[in-house]
Chains A and B, each alone.
Chain A
Amino acid sequence: MSKKRLVGPSAWVFGAAGAIIGVVAALLVSQGNPGNMGLCIACFLRDTTGFFGGAKANMGAVAYIRPEIIGLVMGATATALATKEFRPRGGSGMAYRFVLGFIFMMSALIFLGCTVRAWLRLGGGDLNALWGVLGIIAGVAVGSVFLKRGFNLGRAGSIAKPLGWIAPAIFIVLLALAAVAAFGSTPEGFTVTAAKAVNDLGKPLPGGLRAPFVLSLVAGLSLGVVAQRSRFCSIGGIRDAILVKRFDLLFGVLGLLLGAFVANLVFGQFNLGFAGQPVAHTDALGNFAAMAVAGLAAVMLGGCPFRQVIMSGEGDADAFVAVVGMIVGALAAHWFGIASSAKGLSTLGWPALGVMAVVLVAIALIKRDRAA
């Protein structure tokens, strides 16, 4: 067993992929995206949801189809087709995956960012994200225990080809809508936060903060290729380190953190501290608990929301069901006022986290594969 090693050459691939994502994210912030939100799967899916009837669902401030997310899916689809990895598949605990996606999104909107943005916030100097990252580690550790005890949503199998194309097709339609909204006029019945829009207090609305359309799309496409090829995951590294003592994937988030940190310094947007951080609140316990719930949900899904988006592009209907759960979760989080604000958790924040934690544990106990 002399050849045995704990860190293989793929650590470099993950590290480089993470660094590229971190640098591109910082670039997008420098070009107009909200602070430390160069890339946030939860925020971007939420903003995209806001485009549809956002005015009615308290999402008027965040209504904008983020081209980055479209690019991610299309980049992943193109790469998967080119490498013959596009395989329509599904059928593994789909109803559970919807619920897990829903819970992931709700808790991400209580933290204010997904498991990717937690690292990006830290790389921008937002120390509140430290509690979030600790929460991710705690949630992933709990999920690892469930996995060790046989948690398994079941096997996916081949599905009819058109079903694998649902997600890519939907994102092509979204691209058309986004392009019309960006270069034409706002389509009737939809909500679009005007670029550089401000509220009554003169503060910019997050949905109005955006990098140029084409840049966002190209950045998304590039990262879709990078993520599909590298299989970067924002929670898998911690999970594999705990569960199978493999550390390669951990270099992904370390690269992400380092890339974002260096690029933020270069762009002059690194701002160390707790108070006054962009799209963030300072409730330490709330940040920790929200990301613990999100981290657990992500482990139970088999990968972070970024992975779910990329796999949707590869024809994975299970991953797309999780993404749909996230979209519905975003709608619910805003409609019922569960999402946090810069002031902190909403009154429903803690009760929601408690209920979601109970549901996660229940699912983990129900879906046990005793043969494992």
Chain B
Amino acid sequence: MELDVRGLSCPIPLMRTKKALEKNPGTITVLADSGTAKANVVNLLKDTGYDVAVDDTAEGYRINATWG
């Protein structure tokens, strides 16, 4: 499952990620392009119980989360 929250104002990245998590995906990738959205999404994923890894790419941050 992949979610693109690039360019969205707070708290829409957080809202969309939370909505996506309602389906309890095993893995989820979120694309974010601001440090704030990245931090918010990473914290939400970690607090929900996911293992999180972030790739810093030219277009922004690729947040890969795995249920674990």
Report A's interface with B, CB cutoff 8 A: 1-6, 8, 10, 80, 83-85, 87, 89, 91-92, 147, 152-157, 231, 233, 236, 239-240, 243-244, 246, 248, 301-303, 307, 314, 316, 318, 372
Contacts and interface: CB of A to CB of B under 8 A. Distances in A.
Given A10-B43, A87-B34, A301 B15 contact: no
User: 3 shortest A-B CB distances, which residue pairs?
Assistant: A302-B9, A155-B7, A3-B49
Contacts of B39: 10, 231
B44 interface: yes
B12 interface: yes
A25 B65 CA distance: 39
Contact of B11 (A85, A87, A155, A239): A239
B5 to A, nearest CB: 9
Name the prevailing secondary structure of the A interface residues: loop
B38 to A, nearest CB: 9
B6 A155 contact: yes
Contacts of B14: 240, 244, 246
Contacts of A231: 35-36, 39-40
B57 to A, nearest CB: 12
Contacts of B56: 84
Interface string B31-56: 00111100110011011110000001
Given A4-B47, A10-B43, A89-B34, A156 B7 contact: yes
Contacts, number: 79
Contacts of B12: 147, 152, 302, 372
Interface in B10-36: 10-12, 14-16, 18, 33-36
Given A84-B56, A155-B6, A244-B18, A147 B33 contact: no
A8 B9 contact: no
A8 B56 CA distance: 23
A202 to B, nearest CB: 46
Most chain B CB neighbours (cut-off 10 Å) among A6, A244, A316: A244
A302 to B, nearest CB: 3
Contacts of B43: 8, 10, 248
Given A89-B33, A240-B14, A244-B18, A153 B9 contact: yes
